[in-house]
Amino acid sequence: MQFGIFTVGDVTMDPTTGRTPTEHERIKAMTAIALKAEEVGLDVFATGEHHNPPFVPSSPTTMLGWIAARTERLVLSTSTTLITTNDPVKIAEDFAMLQHLAGGRVDVMMGRGNTGPVYPWFGQDIRQGIPLAIENYALLHRLWREDVVDWSGRFRSPLQGFTSTPRPLDDVPPFVWHGSIRSPEIAEQAAYYGDGFFHNNIFWPADHTKRMVELYRTRYAHYGHGTPEQAIVGLGGQVFMRKNSQDAVREFRPYFDNAPVYGHGPSMEDFTEQTPLTVGSPQQVIEKTLAFREYAGDYQRQLFLMDHAGLPLKTVLEQLDLLGEEVVPVLREEFAKGRPADVPEAPTHASLVARRDARALEGKEKEAAK
Amino acid sequence: MTAAPLKLVVVSAGLSTPSSTRLLGDRLAEAVRRAVADGGRTVDVRVVELRDLAVDIANNMVTGFPGRALAEAVAAVTGADGLIAVTPVFSASYSGLFKSFFDVIDNDALSGKPVLIAATGGTARHSLALEHALRPLFAFLRAVVVPTAVYAASEDWGGSGDALTDTLPTRVARAAGELAALLVTRPSATVTAVDTVVPFEQQLAALRPE
Measured CA to CA in angstroms, residue B19 lies from A299, B115, B171 at distances of 52, 21, 20
For the domain B6-205, what is the CATH superfamily, name and number?
Answer: Flavodoxin domain (3.40.50.360)
Option in B62, B63, B204 nearest A138 (CB): B204
Helical (H) or strand (E) element with B90:
strand B82-90
Q: How do the domains of chain A map onto residue ranges?
A: 2-369
Q: How do the domains of chain B map onto residue ranges?
A: 6-205
Name residue A240's beta-bridge partners. Answer: A279
Contacts of A263 (CB under 8 A, 6+ apart): A256, A257, A309, B62
Note down pLDDT in tens along chain B; length 210 residues: 468 899 999 999 999 988 999 999 999 999 999 999 988 999 999 999 999 999 999 999 998 889 999 999 999 999 999 999 999 999 999 999 999 999 999 999 999 999 999 999 999 999 999 999 999 999 999 999 999 999 999 989 987 777 777 799 999 999 999 999 999 988 766 555 455 788 998 888 888 765
For the domain A2-369, what is the CATH superfamily, name and number?
Answer: Luciferase-like domain (3.20.20.30)
> Rg (Cα) of chain A, in Å, rounded?
20
CA distance B172 to chain A (A): 39
Q: Look over chain A and give the mean of its residue pLDDT values, rounded to a whole number.
A: 96
Answer yes or no: are the C-beta atoms of B127 and B121 closer than 8 Å.
Answer: yes
Phi and psi torsions of B56, nearest 5°: -60, -40
- Please give the average per-residue pLDDT across A262-270, as a whole number: 91
Which chain B residue lies closest to A215 (C-alpha atoms)? Answer: B195
Residue A211 to residue B1: CA distance in whole angstroms: 37
Which chain A positions have a beta carbon within 8 Å of B209's beta carbon? 152-154
Please give the full DSSP string across A276-306, using - where no structure is assigned: S-EEE-HHHHHHHHHHHHHHH-S-SEEEEE-
How many interchain CB pairs under 8 A, A with B? 67
Flag whether pLDDT at A291 surpasses 60.
Answer: yes
Give the model's pLDDT for residue B183: 95
Name residue B47's beta-bridge partners. Answer: B10
Give the model's pLDDT for residue A114: 81
Which chain B positions have a beta carbon within 8 Å of A132's beta carbon? none
Choice among A36-40, A255-259, B185-189 with the minimum mean pLDDT: B185-189
The sign of the dihedral angle between the CA atoms of B11, B17, B20, B23 is positive
Pairing of strands B43-49, B93-94: unpaired
What are the pLDDT digits (tens) for A310-350?
999 999 999 999 999 999 999 999 999 999 999 999 999 99
Give the model's pLDDT for residue B210: 55
Answer yes or no: are the C-beta atoms of A71 and A38 closer than 8 Å.
Answer: yes
Closest alpha carbon to A59 in A33, A22, A98? A98
Option in A130, A203, A215 nearest B64 (CB): A203
Give the model's pLDDT for residue B191: 52
The pTM is what?
Answer: 0.91
Give the model's pLDDT for residue B163: 77
CA distance A155 to chain B (A): 9
Q: Is A186 exposed, middle or buried (0-12, 13-18, 19+ CB in 10 A)?
A: buried
Measured CA angle at A24 (ends A20, A25), to 5 deg: 55
Q: Annotate B153-167 with b (16+ C-beta within 10 A) or e (fewer).
A: beebeeeeeeeeeee
Q: Where are the alpha helices (DSSP H) in chain A?
A: 23-39, 60-69, 88-101, 118-121, 129-143, 184-193, 206-222, 245-257, 268-274, 282-296, 313-322, 328-336, 349-369
Give the model's pLDDT for residue B136: 98
Closest alpha carbon to A177 in A159, A193, A157, A161? A193
Q: Do B62 and A204 touch (CB under 8 A)?
A: no
Interface probe, candidates B65, B194, B196, chain A, greatest A C-beta count within 10 A: B65
Q: Do B207 and A153 touch (CB under 8 A)?
A: yes
Give the model's pLDDT for residue B26: 98
Answer yes or no: are the C-beta atoms of A178 and A190 closer than 8 Å.
Answer: yes
Q: Do A262 and B198 touch (CB under 8 A)?
A: no
